[in-house]
Amino acid sequence: MSDRALSPAWLASWVSRVSRALKAMMDAFERQHGFPPGANEVRPADPDDRAAARMLAQVSFVPADLVTFYEGIGDVTWADVGNGYFIDPAGDAFLRLKEYGAVDVGADRSASGLVIGSNGGGLSYVVVPGGVVYRTRTVSLDDPGLDRVADDLRQFLELLERSLMRFAANGELGYL
């Protein structure tokens, strides 16, 4: 396992850090913004989430790190961090794949990608074999245009964490 691969221990540490930051943000949210916060959490995986993660593991192009993520984390809902950040449950990602198929990725559209979430502006996050994470340029998945946002899922989670910390500290939107 490379030092960049996700492990349950690394994920637990990430969840601990972002959960503390989310709590602090939510404690001050209404005072700072004038309205109560919505849902802002990292939900632990339940048995249904872990079963869906095992189904995703059977899909040839789904990276192992995504399966590791979904074995421990049910979903990420940060409705009030910037415009919002969301990583869908494994079951939703799998159902979307079954219903709509993979997202074509690459200059020649030869690689398959899996939509794993979105931001509050409707742009989707797509992970490809090897774990690279892209963000669509449009809300359409038919011909979305993609921008590479992270070299792997761990870097993507680190960028989400930085976006959370920046927003909690001074209200600035993050990179994603």
pLDDT in tens, 15-58: 999 999 999 999 999 998 899 999 999 999 999 999 999 999 99
Which stretch of 8-12, 29-33, 78-82, 115-119 has the lowest confidence by average pLDDT? 29-33
Residue 160: closest CA among 67, 88, 92, 81: 81
Model confidence pLDDT, tens digit, residues 88-131: 999 999 999 999 999 888 665 667 899 999 998 899 999 999 89
As a whole number of angstroms, the distance between CA 125 and CA 113 comes to: 9
Give the pLDDT score at 1. 46
**Up-side HSE of residue 156: CA atoms within 13 Å toward CB?**
29
Q: Considering the entire predicted model, what is its pTM?
A: 0.93
Q: Which amino acid is at 170?
A: N
Q: State the pLDDT at residue 138.
A: 86
Which residue type occupies 55? Answer: M
Domains and CATH numbers, the chain: 8-170 (3.40.1580.10)
Q: Quick one: tokens of 59? A: 């899909």
pLDDT of residue 106: 67
Q: 55 to each of 52, 154, 163, how far by Cα in Å? A: 5, 21, 30
